[in-house]
Amino acid sequence: MRRLTFLLSLSAILLAPISNAFATCCECSGSRIAASPTTGIAPLDVLVTGSTFWTGAVEIDMGGEKTYVRQFVWDGCYSCVDFSVGHTFRCPGTYQIKAYDTGYPEYATITSVTVAPPAVPTLFVFAGDTAYEAYLATYWYVAQRPFSYATVDWGDETSEAFVFAQRDLYFGTPNHLYAADGEYTATLTLHYDNPYCSWKQSVTATVKVPGTTTATEASTWGGVKAKYR
């Protein structure tokens, strides 16, 4: 009986450290995911961080735009593993970000990010070199936005692509010569073409011909059209 008691006590002593180590090694409060920031203006740089119970690899789906893979090396411990990935959202929209073990998207941990378009540009109308000429202008920081190209529809059945040029304190279009008297609605559009979407932002202004002699701020605003995943 004494021998059996001794063996049981010895077994308890030997197994206790193993049991404690296994408990520590298995500590994981569950999967988590977070994005920072969760809201902002396009283009928006987002850092996604999280952790999950040990797995060979985790896939992070950025709202359908791109899926990143983070692989892990077995360290002999079934504990939580951490992951992080950065991504730039260039298109307006709300994106559902999912992290899941490779091959099991139905068990994803989910968060979301909402991306807003930049503010609609402020647009001014200036006189050109003659009473029948005019040009559109905006603030310098609008001209620096990461759009792909810009176009202007002059409202007289003519339109053109252009590159912003500094014009006094503003950045503007080339001069446009109107052929007849009238009141025209000119539209300036910024076109954004990205790998995952294309969208555009427009603003309109009224041009009076002849007689545009001072800057006139646009009073009729265009909208934002976006297509995103």
Tell which residue, 172, 164, 155, has the closest CA to residue 215. Answer: 172
124-227: CATH, from 1.10.287, 1.10.10, 2.60.40, 1.10.1760 = 2.60.40
Q: What ranges in the chain are assigned the alpha helix state H?
A: 2-25, 140-143
Cβ atoms of 217 and 122 within 8 Å: the answer is yes
Amino acid 88: pLDDT: 97
Amino acid 223: pLDDT: 41
Q: Between 171 and 211, whose confidence is greater? A: 171
d(C-alpha 22, C-alpha 28), whole Å: 12
Least confident window among 28-42, 113-127, 176-190, 211-225: 211-225
Amino acid 43: pLDDT: 95
Amino acid 26: pLDDT: 63
Mean pLDDT throughout 198-213?
88
Question: Which amino acid appears at position 153 of this protein?
Answer: D
Tell whether the model's pLDDT for residue 226 goes beyond 80: no
For 71-86, write each residue's pLDDT tens digit.
Answer: 988 877 778 889 999 9
Amino acid 224: pLDDT: 42
For 172-194, write each residue's pLDDT tens digit.
Answer: 999 999 999 999 999 999 999 99
Q: Where are the domains of the chain?
A: 49-115, 124-227
Tell whether the model's pLDDT for residue 45 goes beyond 60: yes
d(C-alpha 161, C-alpha 153), whole Å: 9
49-to-21, 56, 59, 62, 86 alpha-carbon distances in Å: 27, 17, 12, 12, 9
pTM above 0.85, yes or no: no
Structure tokens at 101: 């073990």
Amino acid 149: pLDDT: 98
Please list, in sequence order, all residues whose beta carbon lies within 8 angstroms of the beta carbon of residue 20, skipping any fewer than 6 positions away. Answer: none
For 105-122, write each residue's pLDDT tens digit.
Answer: 999 999 999 999 999 999
Output the furthest CA–CA distance in the chain (Å, rounded).
116
Tell whether the model's pLDDT for residue 19 goes beyond 60: no
Amino acid 34: pLDDT: 97
- In this prediction, residue 20 has a pLDDT band, given cuts at 50, 70 and 90, of very low
Tell which residue, 169, 175, 182, has the closest CA to residue 127. Answer: 175
d(C-alpha 132, C-alpha 176), whole Å: 8
Tell whether the model's pLDDT for residue 204 goes beyond 70: yes
